[in-house]
Structure 1
C-alpha cells in the first residue's frame, strides 16, 4: 500500500552524484547507529520578488509577508497543469501535516545519503539539532522537480526523508518518493521502528 506548487527565483546547487537504491519498508536493522554521508547543500526560494507578476496564479511564488499554507499546495493531482504532480498523499500526512501554516523563507538544506539501514531515531541521533526542516522546504524542492526531473530529490525507487514538526508541534518523518506518475508523500512517527534502507536521501538544515 504505497502512494504517491509557486515559481520564483528557484536556485539549486548540486555538487554530488545521485544515489540509486531500492526502498524496503519492511526490513529492520539491528545496528546501533545511523551512518550518514554528507552530500550537496541545496538552496531554493519560493518567495516572490518585489514587482514579480502573479502569472499563472497556481504556480506563483508566495509573497514575503504571507504564510505557506500546506493544504493549499500539497494536493493530489497529476494533470499537466498541476504545479507539482502528486499521485498520492498518505492519510497520516494529511491529518498531521497538511493543517500547518509556516513562514515563507529561503530554503537551505544539507543532503545526506544513508549508508546503513537505520530507523528515524538513529538518524536523528546523528543529525542532532539541525535535523529539522519544514514543509515549505519540501515544497520548494518539489517545485524544481514537479514532473520527476533529475535534481536534489531522488527519482529512483529510493525515498527522500525530512524531519518536520506537525500541526501540534510533534516531530515526524515526511517521506517523498517519485512513483512514475507523480510524487507520493507520506508521514510516520519518529518512534516508528521502520528501517530506512541504505541509499535513502536525508535532508536537514
Structure 2
C-alpha cells in the first residue's frame, strides 16, 4: 500500500492512502476467501436444526371436557402400563427418568411448542445452545402430546425409529433431556443429563417453546 500526496487548491498537502496495483489481486483473493470461510461457518451453525411445524397442546378444560387436575403430578401420570385401559401406553420408563423426573409437580405452562428436525448428529449441549434461552419445556407438555397419541397414532411425536426430545428441568431444577420413542408395544421414555456425551441422530425431532432457533 502506498502513500500518495494529494494537494487541494488553497489547502495544505493531505496524505492519502492509495492501493499499489500489484496488491489488488492479492487483496481480492483474501476478501473472497474470508467471505467464503464466514459463509461456511454460518452454514454450519444454521444447519444444525431445521424449523418444522408449530403446535399447541393443552390439558386445560375445553367446552364439554373434564379438566384432568390443576397440578401436574408426574408420578401419577408416567407409569408403565400397556393395557387397553391405559391413558397412555407406556412400555418402559428409564431409571434416570424415574429418579430425576417422577418427583416433579408442575403447572401446565405455555401450550405452544415449536418443533425442529435435527439435520446433523449433535449433542444435547449443541442443540440447546442453538435453540437459545427458550429451549425448555415441561413434563406436562410431553404428557399432553402423549395423550394425543396414546396408542402410537400419527401426530406431532414421531412414531418411527427416530426419537423425540425435550429439554426439561428435573426435580432439583437441573436442565436435562427427556427422550420419547414409540417402541411398538408402547412409548419408551428415558432421560439423561444435558452434559451427557450421547449424540442424537439426524431425524431426531426437537420440541421447544422458542419461536425461532438462535442464529
User: TM over 0.5: same fold?
Assistant: yes
Q: Higher relative contact order by CA 8 Å / sep ≥ 6: 1 or 2?
A: 1
- Is residue 148 of structure 2 the alignment partner of residue 144 of structure 1? yes
- TM-score where L is the length of structure 1: 0.77
Please tell me whether the aligned partners of residues 62 and 104 of structure 1 are also in contact (alpha carbons under 8 angstroms): no
Give secondary structure in 2 for the equivalent of 1:121.
Answer: helix
Structure 1 residue aligned with 2:120, among 113, 116, 119? 116
**Correspondence 1:41 to 2:54:** yes
Q: Which one of the candidate residues 69, 75, 86 is aligned to 1:71?
A: 75
How far the C-alpha of 1:107 sits from its partner, in A, is: 1.2
Task: Tell me if structure 2 keeps the 8 A contact 1:37–1:114.
Answer: yes
In structure 2, the residue matched to 1:104 is 108
| 1:133 aligned to which of 137, 141, 153 | 137
- Give the distance between the partners of 1:186 and 1:165, measured in 2 at CA: 14
Aligned to 1:182: 186
Post-superposition, which runs of at least 4 consecutive aligned residues in structure 1 deviate over 6 A?
none
Cα deviation for residue 53 of structure 1 reads 6.0
Deviations 1:103-150 (A, max 9, x none): 134511000000000000000110001100000000000000000000
Does structure 1 residue 84 correspond to structure 2 residue 88?
A: yes
Match of 1:62 in 2: 68
Aligned residue in 2 for 1:9 = none
Structure 2 alignment gaps of length 5 or more: 1-43, 210-215
* Coordinate RMSD, CA, aligned: 1.5
**1:22-51 residue CA offsets vs partner (Å, 9 max, x unmatched):** xxxxxxxxxx8670000000111111247x
Query: Does the 8 Å CA contact 2:74/2:101 hold for their aligned counterparts?
Result: yes
Which stretch of structure 1 is more off in the superposition, 138-147 or 40-49?
40-49
Cα–Cα, structure 1 residues 62 and 106, in superposed 2: closer, same or farther, change >3 Å?
farther
Q: What is the count of residue pairs matched by the alignment?
A: 165
Distance change (3 Å), C-alpha of 1:128 and 1:106: closer
Q: Which has the larger radius of gyration?
A: 2
Structure number having the greater helix percentage: 2
Task: Note the residue ranges of structure 1 that are not aligned, 5 or more in a row.
Answer: 1-31, 55-60
Map Cα deviations across residues 40-77 of structure 1 (whole Å, 9 max, x no partner).
00111111247x465xxxxxx324xx210001100000
